[in-house]
Amino acid sequence: MDQDSHCAAERELLEAVSRITTSSTTSPSDEEENQPKAEIACQVRKENPEKDDMQDSSATLSPNSSMTTKELQEYWRNEKRQCKQIKLLFEIPSTRIVEHHLSKYVMYKIIILQTGSFDSNKSVIERRYSDFEKLHRNLLEEFSEEMEDVTFPKKTLTGNFTEEIINERKLAFKDYLRLLYSMKYIRRSKKFIDFLTRPELQEAYGCLRGGQYTKALEILLEVIRLQERLTRGNPVSIVPTLCAIVVCHKDLENPESAFEYGEKALSRLRVHTSHRYYIPLLETMITLAYELGKDFLSLQEKLEEWKTKKDPIRVFTLKELAVREYVQ
C-alpha cells in the first residue's frame, strides 16, 4: 500500500472510532428506552460525576493521533465491546445478626452476578441497614428527580430483629438495588459504585499498608471482578486497583502475575498518559520486564517520550501511590 492509501486508511479508522465512541455515549439502548418513569427522568438529566472521576478519565475517549493502525484497530474493538452493557442481578439470600458490647445489627449478604449465562465469578458482599440508609441519603442529594419514586424501607422502633421484619427487608433491599441499577446515571455514579466496593477496598488497602500483601491481594482480586462489571463505561477508574494488585504480586515475588496485571492497567491508560499512575506504572513495568527477560525497550521509549513532552515533576513510585489510596 502506498503512503497516500495508508494515510487514507488511518483517517477512515479515526472517523470510524469517533462514530462508535459517540454512539456508545449518546445512543440509548432498547432497554433504556423502555425503562420506568424514574429512568426516563434520569435520562434528561446530565450526569455530574465527582471531581476525582473527572480527573481519572474524560467523558468520551478519543483516539490519540500518534496511535498506529494496529493500535487504532484494537481501540476500535474495545470501544465496540463497551457498547454492550453488562446486566447484573442482585440477590440477598441470607442475613446474620451481629452483636457487640453496645450495638446490635443485621448484616445482609448480597450476591451480585451477571445475567444471561452461568456466572462462576459471582461477587459476595455484606452490608447493614445503616449502609443502605447512607446510600439512599447520598443519592437523594445528587439525584433528587430520579429518586422521586424510589421507596426505602423505614426503620421501626421495635421488632427490627424479628424474622418477619428481616425477611421483608431482604426483599425490599433486593428490589431497591435492582431499581437503582436500572437507572443509567445512578448505576454509573461514584456513590452507587462506592456502596458496592468501598468497604472492601478500604480493608484491602489497610492490609497493603500493613504489609499483609497476601490478604490484601485476596480482597483486591475479589473486588476487581465486580469493579470491571460496574465501571465498563469508565475503564480508567479501576487503574488504582489494578496497580495495587501489581504492588502486592511484586512484593510477594510473583513477577509474572505482577506483569500481567500491569499490562491490563497500561492498556487502560493508552490514551490517558497524563494520569497520575501512568509514569509510576511504566517504571515498574520496565523493571518487571527486565527481570522476566521481556521486551522493556518499547516501555523505555514510552517513558523517554513522556519525559520530553512534560516538565520534570516529582513522581511517586507505584507503591507510594498505592499506600496513599483510601487514607482517611
Least confident of 229-233, 263-267, 275-279: 229-233
pLDDT in tens, 36-89: 444 333 343 434 444 444 344 333 444 555 566 666 666 656 655 554 566 899
CA distance 284 to 320: 12
CA distance 263 to 181: 30
The answer to whether the beta carbons of residues 42 and 183 sit under 8 Å apart is yes
Residue ranges and CATH numbers for the domains of the chain are 87-188 (3.30.1520.10), 211-324 (1.25.40)
The answer to whether the beta carbons of residues 291 and 257 sit under 8 Å apart is no
pLDDT in tens, 186-237: 999 999 999 999 999 999 999 999 999 999 999 999 999 999 999 988 999 9
The mean pLDDT value of the chain amounts to 81
Closest CA to 229 of 298, 181, 265, 170: 181
pTM summary value:
0.74
Amino acid at 278: Y
DSSP codes of every residue in 109-159:
EEEEEESSS--TT-EEEEEEHHHHHHHHHHHHHH-TTTTTT---PPP-SS-
pLDDT in tens, 110-138: 999 988 666 677 899 999 999 999 999 99
Closest CA to 187 of 229, 224, 133: 229
